Amino acid sequence: MSSRAAAVTQPWGLIAMTDKPRLNHTPSFPVRLPATAPGLTVGLYGGSFNPPHAGHRLVSELALERLRLDRVWWIVTPGNPLKNTSGLPGLKDRMAACRRIARSPRFIITGFEESLNSRYTVDTLRYLKKRRPDVRFVWIMGADNLATFHLWEDWQDIVDDVLIAVVDRPGATLKAQNSRAGRFLARRRLPSQRAAALTRRRPPCWTYLYGPRSAASSTELRRRGVGVEKQET
């Protein structure tokens, strides 16, 4: 597979300015996934969560309610191997911070991606579908990510492989829907008022969720010196 160059702005999807080959998608050691049961609907909400904040919880609550999900997994990434992660707090510290913010038994905090030899969302999703074929997964992302979704590795394959819910974010509504990915996805969009039917559809299908919005930003919190507390060992 030939590489494609783009600027990395977040660890889940974007490819980096590199010509390194794609990593072999073979787990480095056994991967422990959260427990599921056949027929469950699970939202997948991935990110570095550095730090997590109330806006992350608000997105999860909105998706849980509007999509009628059984669970939302907060997939805390170990960090992009193509970026300098020297300042990124440890995975366990960020997971602990997520648990304090999430405050719901239906929000499952997991760091399983650390065990995967993959840097791309598309590979993680394929792995999950293979391991849990009887679970209906929905990829959850903010509208700000939809605006750059076309830069993600194999982003059209993601569209074909998994249901998607895009949650409105302050200042991102028009930019997201007028983006390259937003225009590409327009014909596959399920109206927001029918969002509860999304998990009964087959990909490619997505919906845009409107609701209460939070202006909280991990970047802004870090700028103000608010970070992830280091856990005692």
| pLDDT tens digit sequence for 174-199 | 888 899 999 999 999 999 999 999 99
Q: What is the pLDDT of residue 70?
A: 98
Domains in the chain, ordered, with CATH?
Answer: 41-215 (3.40.50.620)
Place of tokens 């056949």: 38
Intervals of the chain under pLDDT 70? 1-29, 80-85, 219-220, 225-227, 229, 231-233
Beta strands, E only, the chain: 41-47, 71-76, 107-110, 136-142, 163-167, 189-190, 206-209
Q: What is the pLDDT of residue 217?
A: 73
3-22 as b/e: b if 16+ CB within 10 A: eeebebebbbbbbbeeeeeb
Dist CA 159 CA 172 (whole Å): 20
Dist CA 41 CA 72 (whole Å): 9
C-beta separation of 69 from 42 below 8 A? yes
pTM over 0.85: no
User: Six-digit token pair at 201?
Assistant: 């559809």
Q: What is the pLDDT of residue 30?
A: 78
CA angle 210, 7, 184 (to 5 degrees): 45
